[in-house]
């Protein structure tokens, strides 16, 4: 018995630290170990392409690590890959609360998430916060100017871009955005020259090529737009705005079935992007697949209740079914979300004129002209309404003059011109003294 005592004395120093730990310390260490295991497991599941399972595990890790942002950022990525964008946004916002010092970097991720989902206004708001706090790099500033341009905020976009051009007037990326703003403002000649110059100097400049493709599409040269887009490769070719542009080109070329297949794949890639879902619904509407249209519209509005294109597609479907009252309501709702949305304006003015709402139809047509989306037919319709309502005769004469340049002998145009001239304000006679001649 006495011979075993030295062996016990040798073991005791190893056991003493464990014996000294109180139950609370042991529980904390056990929890930290479990948390780290969950974090590692979630990361591995994410890497192996199992985002749904990774999200469940990472949610547990986050609960065990309430003071760390790493599990929340991984959780946001897992939700994104699983197609649950709302949950991804929630995880990012929670991470900002956990660590305010990391907020600028997390806000960039949040802005990107909003953009990917088609929530451009929310993305702009987040980027503006970062810009005003001097937390944006040059590429982020260009992204902000680009998004502002897409939302029709042209002067704000120029103001944002000035932060780069004041320091580097010849910055190539800034020049592309400048051309984009010019194009959006209707200064097409200046924009075209700038785009051509940039692509001559740098043929692989993706941003300039996408912009020129958009310009070709708007100008009616869809085949050239398709050629430009075909040169894009890698991640650049599958960005949401590029996929949207490709789909628009296919529609413009009359290849609706091909556009349907293309948009189906695009929605599979970005299942939370309400605009892409709505575009797929619009394509199916053109193909006469009414039942599928309704399902897709509801899905888009579930993702984004104020999705302008989804509201427009629903309205157009109702119009085709003959339910003009509800169609007008949905067109009005779409225009309430975006008063410059040309497709809704193009349908709305016709319905307004049909029921005798001339001044409302006139207002819708004026907005179409303002956003440079009015066809010659619509400019003539606006001029005719000016003549009928005795309003803005001079503007009406400019519009009808444009139509007469193309068809100088068109009797309808000539009659509208004559009516507008009658509405011109009469010149006042001179009120000076009258000189009587020959009298005394």
Domain chopping of the chain, boundaries: 30-118, 357-424
pLDDT at 10 over 60: no
- In the chain, the percentage of residues whose pLDDT exceeds 70 is 90
The model's pLDDT over 52-70, given as tens digits with 9 standing for 90+, comes to 898 998 989 888 888 899 9
User: Do the Cβ atoms of 418 and 404 come closer than 8 Å?
Assistant: no
Looking at residue 440, its pLDDT comes to: 40
| CA 373/CA 343 separation, integer angstroms | 9
Find the helix packing angle between 188-201 and 172-185, rounded to 10°. 150
In sequence order, the 6+-apart residues with CB closer than 8 A to the CB of 309 are 274, 275, 278, 279, 282, 300, 334, 341, 343
Q: How confident is the model at residue 226 (pLDDT cuts 50, 70, 90)?
A: very high
Distance between terminal CA atoms of the chain? Answer: 159
The model's pLDDT over 386-414, given as tens digits with 9 standing for 90+, comes to 999 999 999 999 999 999 999 999 999 99
Mean pLDDT, the chain, whole residue set: 87
Query: Between residues 333 and 26, which one has the greater pLDDT?
Result: 333
Determine the number of helices (DSSP H) and then strands (DSSP E) in the chain. 24, 0
Looking at residue 439, its pLDDT comes to: 45
Looking at residue 80, its pLDDT comes to: 77
Query: Between residues 405 and 436, which one has the greater pLDDT?
Result: 405
Looking at residue 179, its pLDDT comes to: 92
| CA 89/CA 314 separation, integer angstroms | 27
Length of the chain measured in residues: 440
| CA 383/CA 380 separation, integer angstroms | 5
Instruction: For 30-118, give the CATH class.
Output: mainly alpha
């Amino acid at each position: 018995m006495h011979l075993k005592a030295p062996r016990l004395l040798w073991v005791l120093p190893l056991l003493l630290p464990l014996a000294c730990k109180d139950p609370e310390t042991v529980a904390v260490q056990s929890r930290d170990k479990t948390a780290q295991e969950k974090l590692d497991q979630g990361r591995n599941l994410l890497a192996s392409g199992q985002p749904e399972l990774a999200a469940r595990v990472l949610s547990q890790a986050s609960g065990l690590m309430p003071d760390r942002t790493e599990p929340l950022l991984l959780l946001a990525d897992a939700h994104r890959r699983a197609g649950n964008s709302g949950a991804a946004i929630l995880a990012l916002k929670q991470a900002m609360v956990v660590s305010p010092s990391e907020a600028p970097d997390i806000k960039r991720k949040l802005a990107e998430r909003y953009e990917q989902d088609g929530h451009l206004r929310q993305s702009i708001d987040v980027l503006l916060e970062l810009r005003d706090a001097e937390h944006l790099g040059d590429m982020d500033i260009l992204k902000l100017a680009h998004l502002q341009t897409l939302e029709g905020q042209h002067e704000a976009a120029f103001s944002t871009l000035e932060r780069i051009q004041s320091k580097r007037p010849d910055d190539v990326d800034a020049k592309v955005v400048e051309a984009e703003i010019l194009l959006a403002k209707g200064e097409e000649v200046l924009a075209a020259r700038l785009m051509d110059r940039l692509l001559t100097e740098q043929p692989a400049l993706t941003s300039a090529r996408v912009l020129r493709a958009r310009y070709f599409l708007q100008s009616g040269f869809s085949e050239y737009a398709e050629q430009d887009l075909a040169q894009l490769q890698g991640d650049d070719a599958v960005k949401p705005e590029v996929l949207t542009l490709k789909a628009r080109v296919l529609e413009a070329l009359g290849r609706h079935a091909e556009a349907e297949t293309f948009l189906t794949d695009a929605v599979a890639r970005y299942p939370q992007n309400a605009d892409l879902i709505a575009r797929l619904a619009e394509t199916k509407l053109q193909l006469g697949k009414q039942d599928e249209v309704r399902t897709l519209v509801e899905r888009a509005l579930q993702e984004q209740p104020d999705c302008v294109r989804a509201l427009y597609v629903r309205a157009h479907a109702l119009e085709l079914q003959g339910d003009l009252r509800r169609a007008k309501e949905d067109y009005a709702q779409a225009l309430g979300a975006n008063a410059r949305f040309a497709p809704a304006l193009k349908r709305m003015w016709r319905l307004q004129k049909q029921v005798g709402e001339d001044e409302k139809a006139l207002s819708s047509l004026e907005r179409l002209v303002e956003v440079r989306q009015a066809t010659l037919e619509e400019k003539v319709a606006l001029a005719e309404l000016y003549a009928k309502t005795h309003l803005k005769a001079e503007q009406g004469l400019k519009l009808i003059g444009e139509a007469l340049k193309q068809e100088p002998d068109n009797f309808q145009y000539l009659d509208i011109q004559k009516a507008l001239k009658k509405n011109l304000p009469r010149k006042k006679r001179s009120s000076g003294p009258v000189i009587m001649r020959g009298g005394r």
